[in-house]
Structure 1
Amino acid sequence: MVETQVLLGEPVTVVEEYKDWSRICAPWQPSRKDSRGYPGWIPSRDLASVCPPEPQFAVVTARRAELVEQQGSACALFAPWATILPVREILGTTVRVMLPGGTQATLNRDACVIRDSAYLSSFDIKAEELLVTAMTMLGIPHVLGGMTEAALDCSGLVHLACRVLGVQLPREAHDIAGAGNAVPIENAAEGDFYVFREPEKPIHHIGIVVSPPGTVLHTPGGGVTTIEQLDSDRLRTLMDVVTRLCS
């Protein structure tokens, strides 16, 4: 079963190799399952050497961005939303970036934002920024473990929206719920996280508060990323606290 995905250029730590597979931990996806990052197996052919450090990064803000070789021919490669790649040079309307393994490509400047080396170290984001960023993925279908424009799950939407804005959140809903401040639900505000669980069971769903009470931006199972009013079943499982991350 696929529980998560790693994006192009995302660092991993190889723990073990077995035949054509590598057991890895993904440090950009914190998890209670492993202190080194979300654990899992990945085809070894999908791994490459680490890009050299650069003072700036390009963060993909489009649903996906086409990467083009320096010579100008398409290299049949796309960078999904929230992909982070080292910048070698800003060239007017394009950005030249480093790819895993040491090759280079360009992407359109309007498909990304440029961040400095302190990226993924800040928790200072605004509610409006978070909502606008997450709305990039409206209409994307739900698939458990999804982390791209092809498919998302509920925590993948929240995790990646925050990654675009420079915040490194855990990968799964129950860990995200513990990453911010717990606020009574009657004080919920735009940009907080609604959290859902059945009695005596683990947290199973998370979404972003659009307007309290009850309007949420989320990726529900069996549906697509949407903004909607919580129905009776969601209200039944809604926890009495929200998670607050935004200032």
Structure 2
Amino acid sequence: MELQPGREAVVRVAVATLWTSPEAVRPVDRPALAARTDIPAWISGMDSDQQVGDCVLSQLLLGERVLVTELRPDGWAHVIAVEQPAAKLDPRGYPGWLPADQLVPVDAATSAVGASPLVLDASVSALRATPDGPVVLPGVILGTRLAAAGPARDGWRPVHAPGHTDPLWLPDAHLAELPAAPPTAAEVLAVAQRLLDVVYVWGGVSAYGIDCSGLVHLAWRRFGVQLPRDADDQAAATVPLALGDERPGDLYFFARPGRKIHHIGIVTAGQGSDGDRRMLHACYRQRRVVEEALPADRVATLVGVHRV
């Protein structure tokens, strides 16, 4: 079965990058465009300016659903990332372009799509042909949903993966069941803290490179909670609190006067006796994920605190 406009497909690579247009892609982006992506090589091959280029919109994880809206003869597909809400762009999800060979039709991957109770809990893992055998798909990311293909065996679990007929294997300890109840703020914060020092990449949603709203999206995704992709949409989808009522795991939002929200961080400590508020965030200026007290210029642009 082939990809068709108007039908859903799923991502078959560990991490697919969503681009503004095929023409925006740069020579340095080649590792992110392959049929077997190499995201670490892509990120390490960019300089700090290229890592914040505006050609990248977002990233999609293995098994993530998209709606295909256009197929070009040169091998590019325009899609709607239906699991990344983006109300201001498209009510169906986040629109953008990716190589068509990074997708498989839903019907060809039915066993690996849907309400799977398993989610990758390791920051990064690899799918193997056999227990502890050759790597078939490296760089699978925290929050990736996987369907079990049988019980664990000697510490390894078989799973279905889109684009692969036979089950693939990964350490059973790298997997968790998606909880039936919403996670606590402390649980989400603990996941986000595991991404400390990850490099800042505009549009990134992985343990190799991530941006501020991607960090929030991914931390909640680990627990099966679907938050929008961008910070302003995340503000619209969460519950405002009075400043001073925040607790660790809530969200700080930032905007300049008369402008839309441009930054988000996860509260690690509300305002204490010393007057400092603290947050974990993917910092554009420091180009990595940091946990810090809000500097003066952040405090000046703090416009709200929200709870998921």
Taking structure 1 as reference, are residues 221 and 47 closer, same or farther at Cα in structure 2, changes over 3 Å only? same
SS at match of 1:148: coil
Matched, 1:89 2:150: yes
Q: Report if aligned partners of 1:154, 1:206 keep a CA contact under 8 Å in 2.
A: yes
Match of residue 43 from structure 2: none
Asked whether the equivalents of residues 116 and 145 of structure 2 are also in contact (C-alpha less than 8 Å), the reply is: no
The reply to whether residue 108 of structure 1 matches residue 162 of structure 2 is no
Residue 65 of structure 1 pairs with residue 128 of structure 2: no
Work out the CA distance in 2 between the residues paired with 1:102 and 1:68: 11
**Counterpart contact for 1:94–1:109, Cα < 8 Å:** yes
Equivalences, count: 239
Structure 2 residue runs of 5 or longer lacking an equivalent are 1-54, 272-276
Q: 1:76: how far off?
A: 4.6
Which one-letter code corresponds to 1:42 in the other structure? L
1:169-208 counterparts in 2 under 5 A?
A: 169-208=227-266
Percent of residue pairs bearing the same amino acid type: 36
Corresponding residue for residue 157 of structure 1: 215
Q: Does 1:225 align with 2:279?
A: no
Provide the residue aligned with 2:90 in structure 1: 34
Contact 2:178 2:223 in 1 (8 A): no
Moved more, 49-58 or 73-82: 49-58
Q: Find runs of 4+ consecutive structure 1 residues off by over 4 angstroms.
A: none
- What TM-score, normalized by structure 2, do the two folds share? 0.74
TM-score by length of 1: 0.91
Measure how far apart 1:55 and its partner are.
6.1
Gaps of 5+ in 1: none
Contact 2:210 2:282 in 1 (8 A): yes
Q: Which residue identity does 1:73 align to in structure 2?
A: P
Equivalent position to 2:78, from 12, 23, 39: 23
Query: What SS class does the counterpart of residue 297 from structure 2 fall into?
Result: helix
CA distance in 2, matches of 1:66, 1:125: 26
Q: Could you report, residue by residue, the CA deviation over 1:72-114 in whole angstroms, capped at 9, with x for unpaired residues? A: 3222523111111211113142221111124321111111212
Given that 1:58 and 1:97 are in contact with CA atoms closer than 8 Å, whether structure 2 keeps it comes out as no
